[in-house]
Structure 1
Amino acid sequence: MINKIPILKALKNDRWVRPFIKQYKKTLILAIFLGILTFICGGGLMFCAGYLISKAATKPENILLIYVPIVLTRAFGIARPAVRYIERLVSHNWVLKMTSKFRQKLYDSLEKDATTFTSKYQLGDVLGLLSDDVSHIQNLYLRTIFPMFVAYGLYAVIVIGLGALSPLMGLWMLLVYGLMIFAIPIWSVLVNGARQSYQKQVQDELYIDLTDNVMGVTDWILSGRSNEFLKLHVNSQKNLLVVNRAMKKFERLRDFLVQMLYLLIIVSLVIWGSIKFGGRSYDYTNWIAAFVLAVFPMVEAFAALPAAAQETNVYKDSLDRLNNLPKADNKKIKEINITAPYEISLIDVRYTYPKTEKEVLRGISLDIKPGEKLAILGRSGAGKSTLASLLRGDYSPTSGQVTLNGIETDQFGDQMAKYFSVINQKPYLFNTTIANNLRLGNEDANEEQLWDVLRRVGLDEMVQNLPKGLDTEVDEAGLRFSGGERHRLALARILLKDTPIVLLDEPTVGLDPVTEQAVIDTFMSQLKTKTLIWITHHLKGIDQMDQVVFIENGRINMQGSPQELWENEKRYRELKRADQGI
């Protein structure tokens, strides 16, 4: 039966939860001890209070019979919140330490395939890994593993403590509490856990169907099938409601059984107390009240275990996704130092995306000389962006070689940033000051250097007229500025970085013709000493390039200088005229 519990299967070959528990086991043991001590203090408080109240109602033989319980009640009353506070600090420190290392390991693992996410994962998968799955693992620690260990430790204390007073009562508590912390949680996982997994599946399918149908609701209406659309959603919703009702019904039954077990424990203590202390005249009522009241603070430790165990079915999916990630590559990349002139060479480069097995590039050979201006053109899906990723070293070619000064670009790793800068279609500006955004190119840049690059890209007057100048906040994603201004700020950042090679990945998409021409002119004038690789989909500004390459179906279809192509390629002339509207 244990082998049927999904979370245990997921943990069997786990490399994401167990290693961190082992690494921080000392802190975990301390947190568990403090957790058990918290409940012991709570039980001790109620035990002493129960004895004190019942004893004070009778004539005590000795003042110490009242004074000692008063002192103990005060001691336990102070100790319980103090110990609980310390326990919360230790347990959350334990969890935060583990999840910080967990996140680091996750990012290292994701970084290995960071640039291939679009081919291997959907955006929702990545967001799920970085958000939901990390949250689920944190909940697994806080809401399942830690409470479970505390309950087990408290269970041992109760059984041993009562067993020392009465072995038979100790065995009885072993059985009753065992049902509460083992049998009912396992039953909850097997029965309601399966329903919970099905519920999540139905909810996901309902969400997908509803989203797709709402996006295409016009088609449903125009085809006269609007009633069918409504029925489809209603039927799916009914299936979900059936599952929800079954889960709620089971939860009510489960909670009732837990309460009945607690009632059984209380009745058992009353009967046991009557037998154990009944020979001491009316004094036995003091002990019955003490033992019965001591049980109530323990409810919190045990009652939540079935629901926490049930939730592990949700955590199981997160564990499966995490364990299917590639192992992080922790080996250090050796330092690479190359000097000018910088030459890029592509030799019979082919690339196939792992998931689709579609060959995007089919034998590209190309040389990019130092200081050369190269334009790469082609329709969407022709392989331009893939080629750019190979040039930066983000991808490794399936076959062939992409080298920078004879060293394969995928060997540089993060060191490629010393030689290569990129401006994308939508340059990203962070929600901080203009100065901070510019200093991403050079952290040590002084104010004079910042104004110099702003002048070079034609933004110095605009920034001077802002209320706070360089300290003006750019707003999230740089929405304070127009598209052309964001491109110029991105260029200013690159000028501060001063890398020898700059790649422009369709930087003028979405700009109006006037702004586009102005941005292109700025790029060309300010990057004239750099090796410039410009990926574009149309021919505006192409005459300023040294070499033009057309890619079609993963192959070079046309190649040469703008003048050579105009003279020798009829198709180029047709494309040029069409682009100019002639």
Structure 2
Amino acid sequence: MHTSQKTKPRLRNYLRAWHNDHWFWPYLKQNKLRLALIFFVGVLTFICAGALMFTSGYLISKSATHPFNILAVYVPVVLTRAFGIGRPAFKYLERINSHNWVLNVVSKLRVQLYRTLAKDAAFLHEHQQTGKIFGLLADDLDHLENFYLRTIFPTIVAYLVWLLVTIVMGIFTWLGAIAVALILAVVLIVVPMLSLRQAASGYAVQKARKAHEYTTVTEHYLGLGDWVITHRQDRFTAAGNDDASVTQQSVAAQERFQRWRNFAIQVIFGLLALGLILGTQRLLGGSQRLANYSAAVVLSLFPLIDCFLPVAQAMAEVPLYSDSLAHLNELSASVAAAAPAPVAQADAPAAIQEIKFDHVTFAYGPDQPKLLDDFSLTVHGREKVAILGPSGEGKTTILQLLLGDLTPQKGQITVNGIPVAQLQQARPALFGYLNQAPFLFNTTIRANIRLGAPGAADDAIWAALQAVGLADVVRSLPAGLDTVVTESGQRFSGGQQQRLALARILLKKTPVLLLDEPTIGLDPITEQALMAMIMQASTDRTLIWVTHHLQGLEQADQAIFLTDGHISMAGRPATLYRDNARFRALYALDVGQL
């Protein structure tokens, strides 16, 4: 009773999920001719399998009567060979067409997912865990792929074969056709529904228990010190055992059900075969010529087991697929609900007079601590501003807010008085952004740098390489600009990789450069040389860069330190070094003087 009450609402939820679906049905309705071909070839596969057994049974029976001439069994011999070849051939055609159709659909699903993510990247970044998004990409779409291949296609083919068997039986005896149809209905409708009920109940228990187990184990691990102090190691090691035990019992119960279910289906086919033996003897046993067909009819039944048995297992997997579909539909609904109202776009400013953060407050979600709290900062055109502070203080967040990837809960960010939300279409022409680990593609140096300006001539590329100090290095290579960088730029050192990426954004000639830890992972000498080169290359541009190091700040116009979402120190580095004891201590620590 308890299982039934829990299962019924879940069944209604499945139907509701399919009814409101935007990911499954729209693609199932596409390319109907290819789908029809898949189902047709799938039916032909089992027709050939049944016909192979039929002709083989007839051939055995006919041969047992010692025909006077080989020509008396020539046609069954040819048909046996034809159906024997046709069965694997049609199976191959069904597999290759179904997988081709599914892979095509899944590629479209991935494009739809990427477009969904792109509609409001800021909302997703603020409200969705990265792991959940990766889960959607890695698991849920794959579940839909399996849903097509392991549930929809086998089920539809089985129902078509069921209809065909009923029609063929009806040609000879309508009473027998009705009996066979009802017996097969148990296999194709009753047993799958029982499988769905049992799987839904078991899946719900396993899902709830696993979630509780993860929570319990995590909480115990975070309080590990308390467990050690109170000498309750046994209680700690037993955390989650009850949940794991219940989960294992549920899985074992499902496996037992599946074994008994498959056995029951085979018993049903055995009884059906026995009924056919008795029925064919009664209908065909009166004539020796017709009696040869008796074994053939019974043998043609057995290939149907391979056709009908997967339907029950397919229905048992519906809860897993429904959860994946619900995740995707919830994502679509949440993005649609959170989509911001369209904002009139402005042209990119010809020159930067001022970038202003005006009393900005930002947190990742309503229950998260504030990374920036009433934060204000003004950067004038062509200024070089360094943002420093411990990890997790919101330094990279400032760059993301300026780019428009994130939206503050309070305050406003403007460029020349224009809110950044109105500059999103002009963003590629306004900002050049270099993150901590810029990606270099497995193609030529020319192609990698041209990502910044696809139509740039070689002269402009050489100028960008000269600006970052790589022109001589590239000229020394045998292939020059046609040298292949290799995947992730492994052909070059860390400093050279950063310079190639910087050349890419310098080629864009944007008025604002944003650098997020551009020297991370580099040795001090390479770091110093790279920062000097960056300062020289950005002479006529506004530069904002995030860094952990105080070295290389000599040419900065302004350095700000973040603490608890506020600016705790700000000013020219030379002035801070002269007047601020804390800055001097930090600088000495950074350069290794302490």
* TM-score bucket (shorter structure): 0.7 to 0.9
The code of the aligned residue for 2:95 comes to R
In structure 1, which of residues 442, 461, 474 is the aligned counterpart of residue 453 of structure 2?
442
Structure 2 residues without counterparts, runs of 5 or longer: 1-6
Q: Secondary structure at the match of 1:544?
A: coil
> Which segment drifts farther, 7-16 or 467-476?
467-476
Q: Which residue is 1:310 aligned to? A: 316
Query: Are the counterparts in 2 of residues 162 and 169 from structure 1 also a CA contact under 8 Å?
Result: yes
Q: Which residue is 2:499 aligned to? A: 488
> Which segment drifts farther, 151-160 or 405-414?
405-414
The code of the aligned residue for 2:319 comes to N
Mark the CA change 1:541 to 1:205 in structure 2 (over 3 Å): closer, same or farther.
same
Mark the CA change 1:25 to 1:358 in structure 2 (over 3 Å): closer, same or farther.
farther
Q: Distance in 1 between matches of 2:436 and 2:423?
A: 24
Task: Map 1:76-475 to 2 at 5 A.
Answer: 76-115=83-122, 117=124, 119-199=126-206, 231-232=238-239, 238-279=245-286, 281-327=287-333, 337-343=347-353, 344-413=355-424, 415-445=426-456, 449-460=460-471, 462=473, 474=485
Query: Are the counterparts in 1 of residues 384 and 542 from structure 2 also a CA contact under 8 Å?
Result: yes
Q: Distance in 2 between matches of 1:556 and 1:425?
A: 23
Mark the CA change 1:85 to 1:549 in structure 2 (over 3 Å): closer, same or farther.
same
Q: Distance in 2 between matches of 1:472 and 1:214?
A: 51
Task: Map 1:492-571 to 2 at 5 A.
Answer: 492-562=503-573
Task: Give 1:358 deviation, angstroms.
Answer: 3.9
Query: Are the counterparts in 2 of residues 333 and 412 from structure 1 also a CA contact under 8 Å?
Result: no
Q: Distance in 1 between matches of 2:225 and 2:524?
A: 34
Mark the CA change 1:292 to 1:471 in structure 2 (over 3 Å): closer, same or farther.
farther
After superposition, what is the alpha-carbon deviation per residue over 1:12-62, rounded to whole angstroms, capped at 9, x for unaligned? Answer: 322211222233444323322222232223222322332233223326699
Task: Give 1:490 deviation, angstroms.
Answer: 1.8
Query: Are the counterparts in 2 of residues 192 and 250 from structure 1 also a CA contact under 8 Å?
Result: no
The code of the aligned residue for 2:127 comes to K
Q: Which residue is 2:59 aligned to? A: 52
Mark the CA change 1:349 to 1:229 in structure 2 (over 3 Å): closer, same or farther.
closer
Q: Distance in 2 between matches of 1:127 and 1:193?
A: 25
Q: Secondary structure at the match of 2:300?
A: helix
Mark the CA change 1:211 to 1:433 in structure 2 (over 3 Å): closer, same or farther.
farther
> Which segment drifts farther, 206-215 or 311-320?
206-215
Mark the CA change 1:237 to 1:351 in structure 2 (over 3 Å): closer, same or farther.
closer
The code of the aligned residue for 1:523 comes to I
Q: Distance in 1 between matches of 2:136 and 2:425?
A: 23
Q: Distance in 1 between matches of 2:229 and 2:523?
A: 36
Q: Distance in 1 between matches of 2:240 and 2:562?
A: 46
Q: Distance in 1 between matches of 2:29 and 2:59?
A: 44
Task: Give 1:508 deviation, angstroms.
Answer: 2.5
Task: Give 1:177 deviation, angstroms.
Answer: 1.0
Q: Distance in 2 between matches of 1:162 and 1:336?
A: 73
After superposition, what is the alpha-carbon deviation per residue over 1:324-373, rounded to whole angstroms, capped at 9, x for unaligned? Answer: 11356799998764351134343333334335354433334444333222
Query: Are the counterparts in 2 of residues 4 and 190 from structure 1 also a CA contact under 8 Å?
Result: no
The normalised TM-score by structure 2 is: 0.85
Q: Secondary structure at the match of 2:414?
A: strand
Q: Distance in 2 between matches of 1:74 and 1:372?
A: 84
Task: Give 1:199 deviation, angstroms.
Answer: 4.0
Q: Distance in 2 between matches of 1:116 and 1:553?
A: 23
Q: Which residue is 1:29 aligned to? A: 36
Query: Are the counterparts in 2 of residues 197 and 314 from structure 1 also a CA contact under 8 Å?
Result: no
Q: Distance in 2 between matches of 1:172 and 1:390?
A: 70
Q: Distance in 2 between matches of 1:332 and 1:445?
A: 33
Task: Give 1:533 deviation, angstroms.
Answer: 0.9
Task: Give 1:193 deviation, angstroms.
Answer: 4.0
After superposition, what is the alpha-carbon deviation per residue over 1:373-410, rounded to whole angstroms, capped at 9, x for unaligned? Answer: 22233333333222211111112233333233454323
The code of the aligned residue for 1:376 comes to I
Q: Distance in 2 between matches of 1:227 and 1:461?
A: 66
Q: Distance in 2 between matches of 1:81 and 1:213?
A: 56
Task: Give 1:230 deviation, angstroms.
Answer: 5.1
Task: Give 1:419 deviation, angstroms.
Answer: 1.9
After superposition, what is the alpha-carbon deviation per residue over 1:501-540, rounded to whole angstroms, capped at 9, x for unaligned? Answer: 1101122234333232222111111121221111234432
After superposition, what is the alpha-carbon deviation per residue over 1:468-505, rounded to whole angstroms, capped at 9, x for unaligned? Answer: 76566555544554433332222122223332211011
Query: Are the counterparts in 2 of residues 333 and 413 from structure 1 also a CA contact under 8 Å?
Result: no
After superposition, what is the alpha-carbon deviation per residue over 1:398-452, rounded to whole angstroms, capped at 9, x for unaligned? Answer: 3333233454323444652222111122233345554443333234456665554
Q: Distance in 2 between matches of 1:39 and 1:333?
A: 58
Mark the CA change 1:268 to 1:435 in structure 2 (over 3 Å): closer, same or farther.
farther
Q: Secondary structure at the match of 1:349?
A: strand
Q: Does 1:12 align with 2:33?
A: no
The code of the aligned residue for 2:23 comes to W
Q: Distance in 1 between matches of 2:471 and 2:221?
A: 47
> Which segment drifts farther, 518-527 or 404-413?
404-413
Q: Distance in 2 between matches of 1:11 and 1:276?
A: 47
Q: Distance in 2 between matches of 1:390 and 1:418?
A: 17
Q: Distance in 1 between matches of 2:146 and 2:307?
A: 16
Query: Are the counterparts in 2 of residues 7 and 315 from structure 1 also a CA contact under 8 Å?
Result: no
Task: Give 1:129 deviation, angstroms.
Answer: 0.7
What is the CA RMSD across the aligned residues, in angstroms? 3.7
Aligned-pair identity in percent equals 42
Q: Distance in 1 between matches of 2:219 and 2:295?
A: 63
Q: Does 1:42 align with 2:53?
A: no
Mark the CA change 1:3 to 1:239 in structure 2 (over 3 Å): closer, same or farther.
closer
> Which segment drifts farther, 99-108 or 242-251?
242-251
Task: Give 1:211 deviation, angstroms.
Answer: 9.0
The code of the aligned residue for 2:288 comes to Y
Query: Are the counterparts in 1 of residues 444 and 481 from structure 2 also a CA contact under 8 Å?
Result: yes
> Which segment drifts farther, 430-439 or 253-262?
430-439
Q: Distance in 1 between matches of 2:73 and 2:356?
A: 92
